Structure 1
Amino acid sequence: MKSITQLLHFGYHQAMSCIFPVAIFGTLALSNIIEMPFLYRYDAILLILLTVQYLMYRTGLETLDEIKVICVFHVIGLLLEIYKVKMGSWAYPEPGFTKVFGVPLYSGFMYASVASFMCQIWRRLKMDMTGWPGLASAGLLGGAIYLNFFTHHFIPDFRWWLTALVVVVFWKTWIIYRVRTVTYRMPLTLAFFIVGFFIWLAENIATFFNAWKYPDQYQTWQLVSFSKISSWFLLVIISVIIVAQLKHVKASRNPIKS
């Protein structure tokens, strides 16, 4: 009975941490079905997601610090989207006033939703880490991963080498999380993969509802390549590195509260 109670509490916190991602995919689904005569779809999605973020902040579901982290990820994601669209990796074929270089501004929120989940679950499950490699190792690896998303169009793709480095650098790193009064732990690399896999599932939902299209989806929708899981795996690593480092900085500035 205790294990069921623990699972229910864990599931509750997971669900509450997914409010913003769910809002994104719910908006994508509904906007694909319901026609909005006065707004382009991409513009309407942006307005809705801005409203959701405002309401989450006003109701206390997100803190001001978490909003700042989300904004950082929005910019990081938007820059990557602009580059990838320019390179023909995927496209946003619908019209919209809030498009920059062919990319709708709402697209950055899809990356920011990962940060939203990270911040929420970190706070709700009172997460911590052991064996963190430090800013130098983690920061350089995160920077190399992000850079590889851009450079693999011109030079060889180093994702598998970077994945091997992830295993080496974070070999001793464990996530500590708490459900009620019980403390659990998990290898950080396993957490990377689990979150990356679920983002890949969400990506399939997003492309099904025409959030964007890969070249092989122009004629008819089909399953996103399994190779994309590795991309999301690496993106999650960047997310965790940034969030963990910001949490560490905040804790060092407020030792009593931490």
Structure 2
Amino acid sequence: MYLNNFTGSLSPSIGGATSLKLLTFDGRPYIPPSGFVPAPIPSTFCQLTKLRTLKLTTVGFTGKIPPCFCKLVQLTHLHLYESNLQGEVPSCIGETVQNLESLQLTSNKLTGPIPATLGRLKKLQTLYLGQNRFTGSIPPEIGNLLSLQNLNLGSNSLTGSIPAWLGRLSELQSLDLSNNLFTRVPPELGKLVKLQYLSLSTNKLQGNLPSEIGNCGSGIANDWSALYIDVSNNRL
């Protein structure tokens, strides 16, 4: 259900299609459907236990991510970005829902700390939590996501030093920590030899930029894959 002019809100009756493996309701980027009436995500969607992919994006919901999404244990892709969702991310994402390869919750109003349980998503390749209202530090459990290729935590209120353990995520190709309150760049980021995109802009970074950062991207095989680094608007 992509680029249409549906009116009203999502029908709870969709939850009766219990054989569904893919459900997508996607508006135009940053433009929710004009006739869509904001409402909570129907709890009946939690009956779709065979879903592998659930994309409810650019819609304009009200309320939280339903805790009963814990039942969707076969999910590999969960995309709920640009949809006005609030509250904390259910901790069961990582406890019961463990097969995710892509989790995208960008551009909502999510609050609280980043759940440490996300560190159990050992198959995760893409984690986008940017443009929310997360606080605190990055939980060290995220360092267990050794398959992670894309990590976006930009535009939140995350604090402290950028963790040195990020250097363990050797598959990272894209890292966005911009628009937060980080204070220090660890030299261990230089271990990210597959990195092609690094944005640390608009933080409170102080001191010298470690020379090891020059090693980022050194393992990229293709000469045309340029490394992008942005450390603007800091106190370096």
* TM-score interval (norm. to shorter): under 0.3
Higher relative contact order structure (alpha carbons within 8 Å, sequence separation ≥ 6): 1
TM-score when normalising by structure 2:
0.22
Which structure carries more strand by proportion?
2
- Determine which structure has the larger helix proportion and give its number: 1
